[in-house]
Structure 1
């Protein structure tokens, strides 16, 4: 089998035959695609069809064509229409994260450490997406199984298997949360940058959403299994009654006649409404219809036609432009002024004129912000001073 030599050749080939590939993908479940049907979509050019077969995009078997499994799986994953739930993929990603965390902690080269960290970030993102997709697929498969599976035994068995997959997804979520919150503290202390922190927050949100959905799925499975159990008992009894009837022993072996005689459930049935729709010509030309319309209208003469209430006019004071001004503390400008002095930073901030009222606690906050942002431009001495119960180090410009 020939292969594509680069991405450009692959994308171009898929683009050129997008009509055929889209048609085969859309009918991948409803019909067997024949070679004669496919040749029409490539303008009767057998070379174009043979090219896809040789490259492994399409497989041919006895005059029937189908998309290759890897392309079919790719399209289903990207378009989010896959039905298979691959839980081992999530488990493998967790193992890969643990392995790369060990590699990261043992590595001394910064470039290789960055590559390990990059892989860990990518895998954490992947776990969140795959878990969400697995939960969606699980719910969809449960609905389809309950509604479309005709065999009751297979329906119950499939739902029980889907329930096992639900428990596996729930366990994988617990292992992932355990990995983040209680394991690998050393790694997260060393490698937790802003991007990884954001990824972890998003992942926890996704896993929390999945956990809540799994609770609803569990309730749904229990309800469906109870319905199947009830329906199964009913069908079993119905089969026994039919067996007795077919063998003409139902009257002798059961009390069905006495039970039916006691039942009188017609009065409880819902009354069916049968509206009579008259033609427009009959209503327009028949005098009896006109008299009936006038008689009915008298019963509704007291109906009031409510006029919509108009809102009051908006006051002019709400339409005028209003401007609110607030004096903000510019840390960079404050740093520039401090660099031109020989005073210590804390004393400088206490005596600085901010053009607005700034209390002592806020000035302490500004002191800490300046040190954290411009630490490389400041000299922190081993001497300390205490002001208003706050002890701080003496900081000077370099």
Structure 2
């Protein structure tokens, strides 16, 4: 069996055959992919397919092909599309953390101690991500099982197995929390590493989120199992009723007539109809109503042509042009006049002859606007004066 010599060769092979691998990944849950279909996606070049087969990217079984499990798991995990809930992987990582903590304390060389610390940080980060992904996969599998599995016995068995997976994840979360909180408290206090502290905080948040989701998943499993039990009981009763009916002994062996006579459930009542009469005004003015009337007329083949009502003539008063004039204050002109003089800005604005009547409050606003817009052209002093209960800085032109 040939193998890839480096990462670059792997990436080039996956990139070159991305169309084929994408199509095969989409159809991974259906029947195996036909060899001739794959040949069309590689431009009828048999050597390209053989290249992937020799390097175990895809596997051939007679006239069919499928993606190798190693690459399939990689694609599913990266795309978060996997359905396999692997709790043993979390347990392996927990053991790996414990072992590297022991190696860390036994090691005297600082460089090798740092390598063990780096492994511990990567493993803890991995535990949080894997646990979250397992919880998401668990919830998705539960929903798919309840909605898609047609066999009631298999549906119940699968839900019970998924509930056992939930219990396993819960135990692993408790073990992880015990590991980072109590069992190795000496390590986490002595290994003073800022990144490790951030990873521990992030891991605790992830585990806390997983715990809350697992509580909801437990409630959902119980609810689904109760529904299955109820539905299976109803189906069992229906089977008995059908058997008695097929044997023509239903009426003689049961009291079905008396039961149905006493049952006044709404489901047995005919659906009531409530005719709705539209107003003439609505039918004459609404555009959608007019379209509906035309459709009904075409269906009934009514010969009379319907005309849409014409609106009244618009009054001339609405067509008259009205002009509103508003005098605007040119702040640039005010600034140029102030810079040409020597008075302070506040007094200048108060005494400036505007082209319209301007109140004291409006002049104060203009003063503030001038300071905000042209502060680079002014000399703002620390002197403060007051006028009409308004304090202002003494500002002069530069």
TM-score (norm 1): 0.70
Q: Which has the larger radius of gyration?
A: 2
TM-score (norm 2): 0.70
Change (3 A) 1:202 1:268: farther
Distance 1:44 1:55 in 2: 19
Q: What is aligned with 1:177? A: 177
User: Structure 2 unaligned runs (5+)?
Assistant: 277-288, 310-361, 373-398
Give the C-alpha shift of residue 183 in structure 1. Answer: 1.0
Q: What is aligned with 1:233? A: 233
**Would the aligned equivalents of 1:282 and 1:289 in 2 still touch at CA under 8 Å?**
no
The superposition leaves residues 2-29 of structure 1 with CA deviations (integer Å, 9 ceiling, x where unpaired) of 1111111111011111110011001111
Does 2:269 match 1:255?
A: no
Does 2:163 match 1:149?
A: no
CA RMSD in angstroms comes to 2.9
Change (3 A) 1:224 1:270: farther
Runs of 4+ in structure 1 off by over 3 angstroms are 264-291, 319-322
The superposition leaves residues 295-339 of structure 1 with CA deviations (integer Å, 9 ceiling, x where unpaired) of xxxxxxxxxxxxxxxxxxxx979x9799xxxxxxxxxxxxxxxxx
Give the C-alpha shift of residue 87 in structure 1. Answer: 0.3
Does 2:132 match 1:132?
A: yes
Does 2:121 match 1:121?
A: yes
Give the C-alpha shift of residue 252 in structure 1. Answer: 1.8
Q: What is aligned with 1:310? A: none
Distance 1:145 1:269 in 2: 36
Change (3 A) 1:74 1:237: same
Q: What is aligned with 1:216? A: 216
Distance 2:226 2:73 in 1: 34
Change (3 A) 1:282 1:153: closer
Which secondary structure state, in structure 2, belongs to the residue aligned with residue 251 of structure 1? helix
User: Structure 1 unaligned runs (5+)?
Assistant: 295-314, 323-398
Give the C-alpha shift of residue 30 in structure 1. Answer: 2.6
Give the C-alpha shift of residue 247 in structure 1. Answer: 1.5
Change (3 A) 1:24 1:273: farther
**Would the aligned equivalents of 1:90 and 1:172 in 2 still touch at CA under 8 Å?**
yes
Q: Structure 2 matches for 1:1-20, cutoff 5 A?
A: 1-20=1-20
Q: What is aligned with 1:192? A: 192
Give the C-alpha shift of residue 262 in structure 1. Answer: 2.1
Q: Structure 2 matches for 1:1-398, cutoff 5 A?
A: 1-266=1-266, 271=272, 278-280=292-294
Change (3 A) 1:65 1:193: same
Aligned residues: 300
Q: What is aligned with 1:339? A: none
